[in-house]
Amino acid sequence: MNTQSVTADQVQARGTVFRLAAAMLDYPLAETQQALREGRMAQVLSQAMAIQGEPAWPALPASSDLQALEVGYMATFVHGRRGRPHVPLVASAYEQLLAGDTPGRYLLNVQAFYRHFGLKAATDDEGHIDEPDHLVTMLEFCALLCHLEQQALESGGDVGSPRRALRDFLTRYLVPMASAVRERFNREADQGLDANLACLVQRLPDWAARQCELLEHQVGPCPQPGQRAATGNSEGMWE
């Protein structure tokens, strides 16, 4: 991908990958299982990857039905030893991600991004309530930033703000989180996770890291935490 002249289609394709990754890693729905079984999920992912110059999504067998998808998902991401998931999908479960911060401060830093760009907290019947550090929430936020960048490209607006925010969020939160999930997944015994979800767990960290590198070529490297922390005082850097 030409890092200096990214098109709206390429940004939309990036957002599509974030959006579909969020759908795949969210609690299984009948629509998700059907899209996996019919190959529609893989087809859309392959198209989005091709636009970005990425390898196609492989054709993998899907869970036979919704129950099988749910069982593998629950066994991997919800159940585990002593009430702890084998592979947690919340960042606060990984001490290495906190990097000395308290879980509360980590969550506040993540929420500063959401608040600045208008991502609202989930209500009782949608999303992950009070889980701003859930991988699905992070992926949905990245998709939102891609949408804002696409709008700016199409309207001739300022693309710098969403690009810098996505660069910072990927660097500080999404890439480390996805990498921690992959590392834990590879250490645990197979719990019957759907092959497509397992492939996503393996591919997501490296793909997201490449997106971050592209953004750094466009808007420069992410400031170090000591320069500007991702809290309320740093929001001006995304304007």
Q: What tens-digit pLDDT sequence spans the chain (239 residues)? A: 544 578 899 999 999 999 999 999 999 999 999 999 999 999 999 999 999 999 999 999 999 999 999 999 999 999 988 889 999 999 999 999 998 888 899 999 999 999 888 776 554 444 454 689 999 999 999 999 999 999 999 999 999 999 999 999 999 999 999 999 999 999 998 999 999 999 999 999 999 999 999 999 999 999 876 554 443 344 445 55
According to the model, what pLDDT value does residue 231 have?
A: 38
According to the model, what pLDDT value does residue 5 have?
A: 74
Euclidean distance between CA atoms 167 and 161, whole angstroms: 10
Residue 67 tokens, joined: 């129950």
According to the model, what pLDDT value does residue 21 have?
A: 98
According to the model, what pLDDT value does residue 142 have?
A: 96
According to the model, what pLDDT value does residue 120 have?
A: 67
According to the model, what pLDDT value does residue 167 have?
A: 96
Question: Would you call 118 helix, strand, or coil by DSSP?
Answer: coil
According to the model, what pLDDT value does residue 239 have?
A: 54
The CATH topology of domain 8-238 is TorD-like (1.10.3480)
According to the model, what pLDDT value does residue 3 have?
A: 46
217-224 contact pairs (CB < 8 A, 24+): 217/3, 217/4, 218/3, 218/4, 218/6, 218/163, 219/160, 219/163, 219/164, 219/167, 222/167, 222/168, 222/171, 222/172, 223/168
According to the model, what pLDDT value does residue 93 have?
A: 93
- The structure's pTM equals 0.90
For tokens 């759908």, name the residue.
Answer: 23
Domain extent listing, the chain:
8-238
